[in-house]
Amino acid sequence: MNKKLFIIFKKFFPNQILSLNFNFFRILIILTLFFLLTGLFYVLFFSPPDYLQGYSVKIMYVHVPASILALFIFAIISLTSIGSLIFKVKFFPLIGKSLASLGFVFTLVSIVTGSLWGKPTWGTWWVWDARLTSMFILLIFYLIYILSWRFINNYEKAVKVSSIIAIIGGLNLPIIKYSVDWWNTLHQPSSITLTSSPTIHYSMFIPLIIIFLGMILYSFLIFLMKYKAEILKFKKNKDK
């Protein structure tokens, strides 16, 4: 198991990323477009309206994947930040830096689509309940993390400051995840979990999974492009 993890870990070594060529990215782009367009076509023409929420439920196909990816990306940033501070792995900060803007966008999309979904469902655009408030706090942590890289010129200092921000922000992730279980909120419990069967109909579940896979591929594509650029930038500054 450790050997397999090391093989996966090794794939993100800078020299491995720099070896990625145009053909690899072209295949990734094609796969991303295939899943996103297939999922969108399914949602527009085959996915039924909800018996209570009507067609507004279709916001779910963007809101749910964006929310999951927003949390998952910040979790990776937090873990790489811990690895950076403790084990001094040089490329961990570059991974976090490359993911941050992507996670920020997904968090913003989650909040905006949640607000659009909340108006017809709850009768209001926004409430300061546990899930929405903790998600807004996540957006703030993303912003502070990005700004720390932007305005701290010294690289080593930027690594330390951004890592501390990410680790503290990571404490908010369990609150977001379990807020609907710990407190009474307007936000409904999760319809999809790792420990139980989905509670939504297959006609909604299938396009949701297709779009989610498309958004994962899109995230991977953007991350690799930004990560490769950050590695080249780091090497260039190091050679000066």
CB 43 within 8 A of CB 207: yes
pLDDT computed for residue 57 by the predictor: 84
pLDDT computed for residue 239 by the predictor: 64
Q: How confident is the model at residue 1 (pLDDT cuts 50, 70, 90)?
A: very low
- Among the residue ranges 65-74, 183-192, 230-239, the one predicted with the least confidence is 183-192
pLDDT computed for residue 73 by the predictor: 98
Q: What is the pLDDT of residues 172-221, one digit of tens each?
A: 999 988 876 665 565 565 655 545 556 677 888 899 999 999 999 999 99
The model carries a pTM of 0.89
Checking 92-97 for CB contacts under 8 A at 24+ apart, the result is 93/158, 93/159, 93/162, 93/163, 94/14, 94/227, 94/230, 94/231, 94/234, 95/12, 95/227, 96/145, 96/162, 96/163, 96/166, 97/149, 97/162, 97/230
How big is the chain by its Cα radius of gyration, in Å?
19
Three-state secondary structure call for residue 54: strand
CA 236 to each of CA 13, 114, 224, 233, 240: distance values in angstroms, whole numbers, following the listed order = 17, 42, 18, 5, 7
Q: What is the pLDDT of residues 77-131, one digit of tens each?
A: 999 999 999 988 889 999 999 999 999 999 999 999 988 887 887 778 778 888 8
CB-based contacts of 119: which residues, under 8 Å, 6+ apart?
125
Task: Identify the burial level of 2 via C-beta atoms within 10 angstroms of its C-beta, where 0-12 means exposed, 13-18 middle and 19 or more buried.
Answer: exposed
CB-based contacts of 12: which residues, under 8 Å, 6+ apart?
91, 95, 227
Q: What is the pLDDT of residues 143-185, one digit of tens each?
A: 999 999 999 999 999 999 999 999 999 999 999 888 766 655 6
pLDDT computed for residue 46 by the predictor: 85
pLDDT computed for residue 126 by the predictor: 78
Look over the chain and give the mean of its residue pLDDT values, rounded to a whole number: 87
